[in-house]
Amino acid sequence: MADLVLGIETSCDETAAAVLEGGHKIRSSIVASQVKVHAPYGGIVPELASRRHLETIGPVIRLAVHEAGIEFGDLTGLAVTVGPGLVGSLLVGVSAAKGLAYSLGKPLVAVNHIEGHLYAGILDHPHLESPYVALVASGGHTHLYHAESPGTYRLLGCTRDDAAGEAFDKVAKILGLPYPGGPHIEQAALSGDPRAVPLPRPILGHGSLDFSFSGLKTAVIHYLDSSPLSPQLVADIAAGFQQAVVDVLTRNAITAAKRVRASRILLTGGVACNQTLRQHLARRANSEGLEVYWPRPELCTDNAAMIAAAGSYRLGRGEVAPLDLNATADLPLC
């Protein structure tokens, strides 16, 4: 039997475990969502997130192993997210993984959450080879990387304030839309005019590939100071805001690919589920002779299959984490 790696992911508000065979075949993938826990607050409450992880981590891991049709002793190794993320949430997964690794006598590998998102793309597109440019857009991250070779990355740009997904959540709250904001803004935008409300596309200095979405959020607030909300205005602002974010993400991703002379772009992270972003990026990229890839929606959002995939690669290189491994909330990828 090929190697079997158990992945564990608790970096934010999803408790996830998955078993991967041979580095690419998903034997099981379990995700316990916390949306109902945090929805009343319009965003993630870190203390509530870590407590919920404590309640669900054991059952989620057991279910992942059961659905994979194996026993714990069949595992080749374990992979766990150690950062970046909410430190309380991370510690739950890291502690569980260390306990299992010790009791089973199996090797443990530490995985960077952002690298996991890159491997989500590789799970769906095994032929995607380095070099490529990766745009990781989620609730906590908006980063551009040059994936120069397997396991070797160079940061090209990142957000200076709100991540793209975070901005979606905040603007949704302003518009009175439910949490999480991304899907609800996308739905509302279907009946809106993206040109009805003029919103900015920030440019952060000559040649910069960084992102900033806080000014876009502020522009929405200022516009509403003089314009009372109506269903049509909600739709128009949703459409305009979504298009502004899509324009900025697309512009920087294509500029990055041309700058490093990469012919492929990987779009990943929770915001990669947005259909307008996918369509706009693919259309613009294709006009520039670039190929665009993205994972299926369940691999875009936080999951443990991507952590197991990144961990399988690193276990294959002989990387093993010590049992005094700790979580790092601001862990850089490169």
Residues 74 and 143 reside in one and the same domain: no
Rounded-to-integer distance, Cα 20 and Cα 26, Å: 5
Burial class (CB in 10 A: 0-12, 13-18, 19+), 155: middle
Question: For residue 101, what are the domain limits?
Answer: 4-117+300-316
Whether residue 171 is found in the same domain as residue 143: yes
pLDDT for res 199: 95
Query: Do 10 and 58 fall into the same domain?
Result: yes
Domain identity same for 258 and 312: no
Neighbours of 128 (CB within 10 A): 17
Q: Do 253 and 141 belong together in one domain?
A: yes
| 3-class state of residue 7 by DSSP | strand
User: Same structural domain for residues 92 and 159?
Assistant: no
Residues 132 and 249 in one domain: yes
In a domain, 100, yes or no: yes
| Domain co-membership, 93 together with 153 | no
Residue 205 is predicted with a pLDDT of 78
Number of Cβ within a 10 Å radius of residue 329: 15
Q: For residue 324, tell me if it sits in a domain.
A: no
Same domain? For 264 and 307 the reply is no
- Predicted TM-score (pTM) of the model is 0.95
213 and 269 belong to one structural domain: yes
Work out how many domains the chain is built from and give that number. 2
Cα dihedral 12→51→311→136 (10° resolution): 0
Residue 147 and residue 252 share a domain: yes
Spatial separation of the C-alpha atoms in residues 6 and 307, rounded to whole Å: 9
- Mean pLDDT per 10-residue interval, the chain, length 334 residues: 92 97 97 95 94 98 98 98 98 98 98 97 94 96 95 95 94 95 97 95 86 94 92 97 97 97 97 97 97 97 98 95 96 92
CATH of the domain at 222: 3.30.420.40
In a domain, 287, yes or no: yes
Element (H, E) at 116: helix 113-124
pLDDT score for 1:
61
Measuring CA to CA, which residue among 210, 236, 242, 205 is closest to residue 223?
236
